[in-house]
Amino acid sequence: MCGIAGAVSFEGRPDLCAVERMVALLDHRGPDERGVHVEGSAALGHARLSIVDPAGGRQPMGAADGAVWITFNGEIFNHVELRVELEKRGHVFRTRSDTEVLLRAYLEEGVDCVHRFNGQWAFAIWDGRSRRLFASRDRLGIRPLYFTRSGGGLVFASEIKALLAYPGVRREIDRVALDQVLTLWTTVPPRTAFAGVEELPPGCSLVFERGEVRTWRHFELDYSELDGRSEDDLADELRATLIDAARLRFQRSDVPVGAYLSGGLDSAVITGIVRRFTDAPLSTFSVTFEDAEFDESEHQRRVVDFLGVDHHEVRCRAEDIGRSFPEVVWHAEQPVVRTAPAPMFLLSRLVRDSGFKVVLTGEGSDELLGGYDVFKEAKVRRFCARAPSSRLRPLLLRRLYPYIPAIQRQPDAYLRSFFLARPEDLESPFFSHLPRWELTRRLRVFYSDETRSALRGEDVYAKLAAELPERYASWHPFCRAQYLETRYLMPGYILSSQGDRMSMAHGVEGRFPFLDHRVAALAARVPPRLQMKVLDEKHLLKRAAGDLIPPFLHRRPKQPYRAPEAAAFFDAERRAARFEWVDELLSERKLAASGIFDVEAVSRLADKARRGRVVGIKDGMGLVAILSTQLLWHRFVEHQGHRTVGHGD
Kindly list the catalytic residues: 2
Output the CA angle 69-71-74, nearest 5 degrees.
140
Distance between CA atoms of 135 and 157, rounded to whole angstroms?
11
Phi and psi at residue 357, to the nearest 5°: -110, -15
Distances (CA, A) of 150 to 155, 167, 171, 218, 237: 7, 8, 13, 26, 48
Distance between CA atoms of 550 and 264, rounded to whole angstroms?
10
Distance between CA atoms of 291 and 343, rounded to whole angstroms?
13
Output b/e per residue, 263-284; b: 16+ Cβ within 10 A.
bbbbbbbbbbbbbeeeeeebbb
Strand partners, 312: 285
Distance between CA atoms of 6 and 29, rounded to whole angstroms?
15
Which element (helix H / strand E) includes 509?
strand 509-511
Enumerate long-range contacts of 186-192, CB under 8 Å, 24 or more apart. 186/334, 186/488, 186/489, 186/492, 186/493, 186/496, 186/497, 187/334, 187/492, 188/460, 188/463, 188/464, 188/467, 188/488, 188/492, 189/492, 190/215, 192/146, 192/160, 192/333, 192/334
Cα dihedral across residues 579, 184, 373, 545: positive or negative: negative
Q: What is the DSSP string of 435-498?
A: HHHHHHHGGGGGB-HHHHHHTTT--HHHHHHHHS-TTGGGS-HHHHHHHHIIIIIIIIIITIII
Phi and psi at residue 390, to the nearest 5°: -65, 135
Distance between CA atoms of 162 and 295, rounded to whole angstroms?
36
| Distance spanning both ends of the chain, measured CA to CA | 30
- In the 8-state DSSP scheme, what is residue 514? G
Contact 630, 330 (CB under 8 A): no
How far from the centroid of its chain's Cα atoms is residue 596's Cα? 25
Closest by CA position to 160, among listed 203, 192, 129, 124:
192
Closest by CA position to 621, among listed 336, 291, 294:
336
How far from the centroid of its chain's Cα atoms is residue 436's Cα? 18
Work out the number of other CB atoms within 10 angstroms of the CB of residue 455.
Answer: 16
Contact 75, 120 (CB under 8 A): yes
How big is the chain by its Cα radius of gyration, in Å? 24
Distance between CA atoms of 220 and 242, rounded to whole angstroms?
20
Q: What's at 53, amino acid-wise? A: D
Which element (helix H / strand E) includes 217?
strand 212-217
What's the CA dihedral at 80, 85, 86, 87 to 10 degrees? 90
Q: Is 357 exposed, middle or buried (0-12, 13-18, 19+ CB in 10 A)?
A: buried
